Structure formats: C-alpha cells, structure tokens
Amino acid sequence: MKQTSTNTRSLAAFQERASAARITRELPNVLRPAVRYRLYAGVAIDALVALVASYFAGATLQSSIGLWQGQTEVSSTVDIIGTLRDANRVRELAVAICREHGQTSVYVETVDIVLEDIRPIAVAPVLSSVADYAPTAS
C-alpha cells in the first residue's frame, strides 16, 4: 500500500511540474492592461521626434500621408503605450504639437489594450518521466 501511495505522489508531482514547464514554455511573458494613445498630426516625423521625447521616454513614430480638407499632406502617427494616468500628458503633447507646428488640431485615439511584454527567457527542461521526480532517500 505504501508503494502505491509513493507512486501516486510521484506521478502527481511529475504532472504538476510538467504542466508548469509547459506553461513556462508557452506563456513566459507578462500580460497587463494598458492604454494605447495614437496621435495623428499633419507634421513631418523629423519635426516631432524631439517634442515627443520631451514628454515621453518611449513612443513609436510613423511617417504617413494625410488627407485634410481635400488636400494631401505629410503626416505622422505617434503611438504611446501607457496607462490612464498618462492621458493629461498626451493631451498636453497634442496641444504642444498644435502650437509649435501651426496645426488646427491633432486627433488623439485612446484604446484600452492588453500588453504582452515578450522577453527571451531560459526554458525549463522537458520532463521525461515520473522517475525524474521520484522521492529521494534522505
């Protein structure tokens, strides 16, 4: 009877660790709620880099072509990932873009997102057998 109990515990331990190892391989990253702010401005990207950097340490800027009042114009899109606490600073940035670059307006799109921070990590070795987790004599 004792042998069966030991085998059952060993199997349970193996299954638990195997499951944890599989999860570690499949979902090693952190998921967290965040907010994506996207600003649309009729300004060349080179003119925005320093201004955006003065408000946020990280952002993605993309050059594009905009259409405003039937006319095409050089345009930029600025993506900032943050939290709701960043909303006022994003608005301040939008106003600064308008003032410094003579824009009538800057559109700000705000979207709740789930951010997955993907980082390379060492993966636990694949478990091969129940014997890997058999109790040791002490």
CATH code for the domain of 43? 3.30.70.120
- The helix (H) or strand (E) run that includes residue 40 is strand 30-41
Quote the CA–CA distance of 110 and 120 in Å, as a whole number: 29
Return averaged pLDDT per consecutive 10 residues of the chain, 138 residues in all.
Answer: 57 58 53 92 95 97 91 95 96 98 95 84 54 52
- Read out DSSP for 50-70? HHHHHH-S--EEEEEEEEETT
Answer whether 52's CB lies under 8 Å from 78's CB: yes
4 inside domain: no
pLDDT for res 15: 59
| Count of domains forming the chain | 1
10 inside domain: no
Domain of residue 60, residue span = 31-117
Its pTM stands at: 0.65
47 inside domain: yes
3-state SS of the chain: helix, strand, coil percent to 5?
Answer: 40, 30, 25
Q: Which residue has the tokens 């600073």?
A: 89
pLDDT for res 109: 97
15 inside domain: no
